[in-house]
Amino acid sequence: MRLALLGPPGAGKGTQAARICDAFGLLHFSSGDLLRAEKLKKTPEGQKIRDYIDSGRFVPDELMLGIIRNKLASIAKQGFVLDGFPRTLSQATALTEFLAEMNRTLSLVIDLAVDPAVLSRRFEGRRVCPVCLSVYHVDLMPPQREGICDHDGARLVIRPDDMPAVVRTRIDTYRQTVTPLLDYYRQAGLLWKVDASGSVDDVWVQIEARLSQPDMRGSSAA
């Protein structure tokens, strides 16, 4: 299976992508994680990326596509879940062309649709591990020990771009850019919308059922 997850910041793309990868043996590709690793580099490109991410704006397509091309080439031969990419119509068309060069197509694009009121609540409690990048929520998905990562014992932090003003910019940017992306995948017959306002488990039950259907099992071929 080759899947892409769409949805506003806070929709649970990273959490559901990790579950899909565990259950179906796919590779998880998070454009946000890749960019956060790039922004730590003390290069002019790293500084540029930092400015975009920390202010909640998209990294421009040209820069984004340059960074992910190699990564995509390495995962496209196997099944994967794209989390956070594509985010613009030109990224989507570039992805289609790129996969076509490898005689591949996407199997399904999952649109995680969330009620705006639910989104703000999710952000208020979101915490991340600065070491392994695992994501938690103080109420909805707490770590075993308060404020401490289950995987490596690091102290959890609030991501700079999870601050309220930046979150507003990120959600507005998503709303302004997502419609052509949804139209593109709807026309391609690839779009499947799921109500992602419920709990992680509620959303997962719906996704697992959809991905277990016979039409998905046959999708390992191009």
Give the per-residue contact string, 165-194, with ligand AMP (x = CB under 6 A; - = no).
-----x------------------------
31: contact with ligand AMP by CB under 6 A:
yes
CB count, 10 Å around CB of 24? 16
**β-pair type (126-128, 27-30):** unpaired
**β-pair type (191-195, 108-113):** parallel
Both tokens of residue 12? 């649970």
- Is there a catalytic annotation at residue 170? yes
**Positive or negative torsion for Cα 175, 176, 181, 186:** positive
Q: Where are the beta strands (DSSP E) in the chain?
A: 2-6, 27-30, 80-83, 108-113, 126-128, 135-137, 191-195
In angstroms, the CA 137 to CA 142 distance is 5
126: contact with ligand AMP by CB under 6 A:
no
CB of 220 to ligand AMP, least distance (A): 25
CB of 50 to ligand AMP, least distance (A): 10
Give the per-residue contact string, 32-71, with ligand AMP (x = CB under 6 A; - = no).
x--x----------------xx--xxxx----x-------
- Is there a catalytic annotation at residue 126? yes
* Binding region for ligand AMP (CB under 6 A) out of 16-24, 81-89, 128-136, 182-190: 81-89
- Is there a catalytic annotation at residue 87? yes
